[in-house]
Amino acid sequence: MTTRRSILKTAIGGLALAGGGLIGRLARADLPAGTIESGTLETLPGKQPLLKRSFRPPNFETPVAYFNDVITPNERFFVRWHLMNIPQVAAADWRLAVGGEGATQEFVLSFEQLRQEFEPVEVVAVCQCSGNRRGFSDPHVPGVEWGHGAMGNARWKGARLKDILARAGLRKESVEIAFNGADSPPLEATPDFVKSIPAWKALDENTLVAYEMNGAPLPHWNGFPARIVVPGWTATYWMKQVISIRALTQPLSSFWMNTAYRIPKGKFPLIDRFVSQESDTTTPITEMVVNSLITNLSDGQRVASGSAVVVKGLAWDGGYGIRRVEVSIDEGRTWERTELGTDLGRYSFRPWSFNFRPRGPGRVAVLARASNAQGSTQTDQLIFNGPGYHNNVIQKVVIDIA
């Protein structure tokens, strides 16, 4: 069994950098067949078996079968870290330093102060690694070779970041809010994982300093005692084990802002922009693109001829809301609407289902695509970029009717 001790014992060096036909682009010609689908199932303390993508640092993916519930249980939630020195932090010892040149005053919060002195709020939101589905990129790109499961949907509870910043007296000159966590690099030359978001995003009522996940304390592997939650945006900004919040009057300059987690400017249909960090050619990744996942069927699954086939799945986007999900069983020539399930909020997974009865034995390709309220729809061709971000190619699952 993999344990935290065994992970940290080997944490000597290294860093997993995040930047670095119709559905034919999903094929990977340069990795052995089945590499992504057959990752080894390993168990971290407090977790059910997850797909191991790396030990140093720990990166573990949620198997697709776990997504049949719209809320991802804590013990099934994916694990993503950039640095390998991950301390065990006791709630009683944890402190959050708040300040920076963009604040009129500095102060330090204890865990109990965070819980007791600020109004608690909840939001259901998808936390998704920017590189989710990177392993399907063609041609191959460097980075953690994620399949479909570097994501999860949870009910987050905490204090509004804007309420904490109000106590700090945010100056009008502030342009960004920066975060640092308790994890640290193993080598002096390794850049510390420090991130920032625009001041306007920090002041959004849904941006939280969260201390609960699905009604329980955050798991250690998901950021206990407290983490940043930025609904709608990819998880690179969701700082785990947050210990520092700084208001900045100048854009943050760091490896993780200026080099990593960037996409070609104008290549994706995004609305939320991080203008203070844009260059002439690239922009920081921000909101998630519209996407969907078939959760109850897998390639090669056998279905009895003459019986109805039930297709279930999830859809999500950057918080604009899922307008429709469609399924095709004729290689994309025609599409039929699915039935959307319970709406837990615009940042949540949206469940959907579709029933059909095959005409006879043979192979059937089931395709699913989602569209959001802004008019964006999943693409049928990979929008290639070097880091392998924003893969929202329409999914294809081939089942056998026998």
Q: What is the pLDDT of residues 75-133, one digit of tens each?
A: 999 999 999 999 999 999 999 999 999 999 999 999 999 999 999 999 999 999 999 99
Mean pLDDT of the chain: 91
DSSP secondary structure string, 79-129?
A: EE-SSSB-----TTT-EEEEE-TTBS--EEEEHHHHHHSS-EEEEEEEEE-
HSE (CB half, 13 Å, CA atoms) of 298? 10
Collect all residues with Cβ–Cβ distance below 8 Å to 345 and sequence separation of at least 6: 123, 124, 125
Mean pLDDT throughout 169-180?
Answer: 98
Which CATH code is given to the segment(s) 291-401? 2.60.40.650
Burial of 1 (C-beta count, 10 Å sphere; 0-12/13-18/19+): exposed
Question: 22-36, 267-281, 361-375: which has the minimum mean pLDDT?
Answer: 22-36
193-211: pLDDT as tens digits: 999 999 999 999 999 999 9
pTM beyond 0.75: the answer is: yes
Which position has the higher pLDDT, 402 or 170? 170
Q: Are 365 and 396 in contact (CB under 8 A)?
A: yes
Q: Please, which pLDDT band fits residue 8 given cuts at 50, 70 and 90?
A: very low
Q: Please, which pLDDT band fits residue 393 given cuts at 50, 70 and 90?
A: very high
318-350: pLDDT as tens digits: 999 999 999 999 999 999 999 999 999 999 999
**Amino acid letter, residue 218:** L
In degrees and rounded to multiples of 5, residue 167 shows phi and psi of -65, -30
Peptide bond into 139 cis (omega under 30): yes
Assess whether pLDDT exceeds 50 at residue 23.
Answer: no
* The pLDDT of residue 359: 83
Assess whether pLDDT exceeds 90 at residue 22.
Answer: no
Q: Please, which pLDDT band fits residue 270 given cuts at 50, 70 and 90?
A: confident
| CA distances from residue 295 to 51, 69, 84, 369 in whole angstroms, order as listed | 16, 9, 31, 13
- Binning the chain into helix, strand and coil, the percentages to the nearest 5 are 15, 35, 55
Print burial letters for 318-341: b (CB count within 10 Å at least 16), e (below 16): bbbbbbbbbbbbeebeebeebebb
Question: Could you tell me which of 384, 377, 380 has the C-alpha nearest to residue 393?
Answer: 380
Q: Which CATH number fits domain 95-129+148-284: 3.90.420.10, 3.40.50.720, 2.40.128.20, 3.40.50.1100?
A: 3.90.420.10
3-class DSSP assignment, residue 208: strand
3-class DSSP assignment, residue 302: strand
Q: Name the segment(s) of the chain with CATH classification 2.60.40.650.
A: 291-401
35-84: pLDDT as tens digits: 555 579 999 999 999 999 999 899 999 999 999 999 999 999 999 999 99
Q: Are 66 and 44 in contact (CB under 8 A)?
A: no
Q: Are 73 and 214 in contact (CB under 8 A)?
A: yes
Any idea which residue has 């940042």 for tokens? 347
Distance, in Å, from the CA atom of 42 to the CA atom of 72, rounded to the nearest integer, reads 18
E strand or H helix at 8, and its extent? helix 4-9
Q: Are 79 and 33 in contact (CB under 8 A)?
A: no
Collect all residues with Cβ–Cβ distance below 8 Å to 33 and sequence separation of at least 6: none
Partnered with residue 121 across adjacent β-strands are 158
Distance, in Å, from the CA atom of 139 to the CA atom of 130, rounded to the nearest integer, reads 18
Q: Name the segment(s) of the chain with CATH classification 3.90.420.10.
A: 95-129+148-284
* The pLDDT of residue 382: 96
DSSP 8-class letter at 249: S
